Structure 1
Amino acid sequence: MELDYDQRIINETNRFDLVEDLNELPPIFHYWSNRYLRPQLEKFGFSHPDGFFAYYAKEAIKTHHGSMRILSIGSGNCDTEVRLAKTLRKEGFHDFIIDCMDINQTMFARGLKLAEEEGVTNHLRFLKADFNSWESQQSYGLIIANQSLHHVVKLEHLFAEIKKSLPPEGYFITSDIIGRNGHQRWPEAVKVLKKIWQQMPPRYRYNHQLNKEQKKYVNHDCSSDSFEGIRAQDVLPLLIKNFHFETFIPFANLILIFIDRGLGPNFDVNNPEDIAFIDRIHQLDEELMLAGTIQPTQLMAAMQLNPSDNLRLRHPKLTPEFCLRQ
């Protein structure tokens, strides 16, 4: 039975009430990201998502005369926003306000405490709102969506409000998920994963979130009882329809199954056999994405209302249109 919207809100709020560190990931994820993702990002002038947000915050401030307001959509515990405020202050930028938008008061309380501890409360405002029904009352030089778009049901409404809020020189930037709804994999990726599953040792199959061995690959739909990935597959098509990319960095499909919280703890970064397995999956992932056999499921992108004279791509072949699943 399909859950109604209010029940999903309750489930989502209750789940995140208990999550104090949204960024906690197993060591194998950091091995992979530092070896393979970080060098790709450094070509663009940053090393990690926090650096990406700071890079475009500084670009927006430089082109924005006077004080600037930043909006962060689905800010959660506001740890990203606190770090951004600290970075901007450290680099000599002081005339800015970050509006942290979320529906979860418990997470806001953690965010306020963190902002007080780090001395940046004068740069943060807390905006309690549901991004599915939020209506813009401000102009923002920079709008950030950090791992939040895949929780949005009314993407069309949200993107319309973002367009209303953004001046021509402003930026809308996101680090988010663009794969199949509910963090599932499309059939062509499932086919590859099932083959890998048959060949890998049982110790790699233990799911630490479910506390059991998965003898067969299960293509689980995480959106069945919450907003987790509820319209993830619509994010990229609607971004293409509504905005113009300046930076487009798509990445990762198969590899995420093995380095995330479920299976990731199975892999020891000091074990050559485990590292060799992760390296092989990454290489296969890249080959299949560049061939167009499977599509990236993650995206970091910077967008504006008007076309850019210089679209920056992670790989010449991986254009926004090429990464759409047809």
Structure 2
Amino acid sequence: MSLSTFAYRHRLVAKRTIAALAKVLPATASRRLRAFAERAAFNLTPQYQGETLPPIFGYWSSRYLAPDAHRLGIDSPESFFLSRIRQSASAGNTPVRVLSVGTGACDMEVGLAEQLKAAGVQAHITCIDFNPALMRRAAATAQARQVSALMAFEARDCNLAFKLPPQDVIIVNQFFHHVTELETFCRSLRDSLTPGGTLLSSDIIGRNGHLLWPDVETEVQRVWAELPAAKRHDRHFNAMQTRYRPIDHAAYSNEGVRAQDIVGCLLAEFDFELFFSFGAAIVPFIERRIGFNFDPQQVDDQALIDRIHALDAAALSTGRYPAANMIAALRHKGAVTQAPVHEPITAEQHVALTEQQRAKTMSVRG
């Protein structure tokens, strides 16, 4: 057994050890430890992990998420990014200067470069990630797939201020929720965006560490109590749980470290042209820990997911609690020329709901 395989198989012990150390170390040392753990995780986690969502996620996303997104012109985050790059090219920005931040091994970005090349769209994509090994791997992939001339790769810590040559399109795909110095990062993005440029993102914007907000957890626990024992098996603990047990992933890494602050930090530097937020109480039942307990071919399981989604969607649309995910397009302050699109609520309303839930967590602690 290789060292990486051994480390991956014993990751739960490592997570608990890091979480315990992070509680007693000084703040600076704790942040460095979590950052180191995250870098190690990206090196050790098998690449196939991205394809291991449970089948019930596909049922929910195709039945509910995809139709809602399609009405907003979004078929997937990747196609959304591609269409916005092509729009920029149509507006006369050639070659389109694209910056993608927090890219990992750049699988999506290499795919975008291939599609743009095939469509005859002149573009250059700069990829940034804090992991030099992943940048080297990405450069090799781009070379093998004959798009290296259209791409550049740079290892950089985005918690530190930067200002790059002006970019027409900036993509932050599932990365904001890994950033500790969000205010600095958002200012760096602002300083690196052309006056008419667009910032695009698909990200997680729920409670820090991917915990549940109080009102979200109330709904989750209510449904959990109704489930038969077989449906309450938690793969994280490899055991049946009498109650759903939220896990603070920010305790041992930068996973979701400041997720709840993302929208507010973006509002301080940009205006939202599009803000599509979705998913809260439904999330635990369709992700990896619990989702494999449900079979999309079983009518009873379909009905359960339908019911949870209905109550979740109603709560989100009426502003009972904020969503945990977003797809968004933003521009410089004052640069949004058409009526902003928001579904189901505005970014400002999301921030207000987040503050309400944050206050509830503080009152519970008190």
- TM-score w.r.t. the length of structure 2 is 0.84
Q: In the alignment, is the contact (CA less than 8 A) between 1:313 and 1:319 conserved in 2?
A: yes
Cα deviations by residue, 1:79-127 (Å, 9 ceiling, x for unpaired): 111121122222221x221111111133234423432343222222111
Instruction: Tell me, yes or no, if structure 1 residue 310 matches structure 2 residue 339.
Output: yes
Equivalent residue letter for 2:105: N
Q: In the alignment, is the contact (CA less than 8 A) between 1:46 and 1:55 conserved in 2?
A: no
Counterpart in the other structure of 2:163:
136
Instruction: Tell me, yes or no, if structure 1 residue 59 matches structure 2 residue 87.
Output: yes
What secondary structure, in the 3-state scheme, does the structure 2 residue paired with 1:296 have?
coil
Which of 14, 20, 23 is residue 40 of structure 2 equivalent to?
14
What secondary structure, in the 3-state scheme, does the structure 1 residue paired with 2:274 have?
strand
Distance in 2, Cα, partners of 1:119 & 1:35: 37
Residues matched between the structures, number: 323
Q: In the alignment, is the contact (CA less than 8 A) between 1:60 and 1:169 conserved in 2?
A: no
Larger radius of gyration: 2
Q: In the alignment, is the contact (CA less than 8 A) between 2:135 and 2:154 conserved in 1?
A: no
**Unaligned 5+ runs, structure 1:** none
TM-superposed CA distance for 1:31, in Å, is: 1.4
Q: In the alignment, is the contact (CA less than 8 A) between 2:159 and 2:185 conserved in 1?
A: yes
Distance in 1, Cα, partners of 2:194 & 2:81: 18
Q: 1:1-326 residue pairs with structure 2 within 5 A?
A: 1=23, 2=25, 4-19=30-45, 20-21=47-48, 23-24=50-51, 25-93=53-121, 95-305=122-332, 306-315=335-344, 318-324=345-351, 325=353, 326=356
Cα deviations by residue, 1:233-262 (Å, 9 ceiling, x for unpaired): 100111122211111111000111111111
**Unaligned 5+ runs, structure 2:** 1-22, 357-366
Distance in 2, Cα, partners of 1:203 & 1:100: 44
TM-superposed CA distance for 1:286, in Å, is: 0.3
Distance in 2, Cα, partners of 1:57 & 1:292: 33
Distance in 1, Cα, partners of 2:91 & 2:32: 41
- TM-score w.r.t. the length of structure 1 is 0.94
Flag the 1:263–1:113 CA change in 2: closer, same or farther, 3 A.
farther
What secondary structure, in the 3-state scheme, does the structure 1 residue paired with 2:172 have?
strand
Distance in 2, Cα, partners of 1:129 & 1:286: 38
TM-superposed CA distance for 1:273, in Å, is: 1.2
Out of 297-306 and 98-107, give the one that drifted further. Answer: 98-107
Flag the 1:38–1:257 CA change in 2: closer, same or farther, 3 A.
same
What secondary structure, in the 3-state scheme, does the structure 2 residue paired with 1:321 have?
helix
Distance in 1, Cα, partners of 2:216 & 2:323: 11
Distance in 1, Cα, partners of 2:304 & 2:205: 25
Distance in 2, Cα, partners of 1:297 & 1:151: 15
Distance in 1, Cα, partners of 2:146 & 2:44: 25
Out of 65-74 and 101-110, give the one that drifted further. Answer: 101-110
What secondary structure, in the 3-state scheme, does the structure 2 residue paired with 1:266 have?
coil
Distance in 2, Cα, partners of 1:28 & 1:110: 32
Q: Percent identity?
A: 34
Distance in 2, Cα, partners of 1:185 & 1:124: 39
What secondary structure, in the 3-state scheme, does the structure 1 residue paired with 2:263 have?
helix
The CA RMSD measured in Å over matched residues stands at 1.6
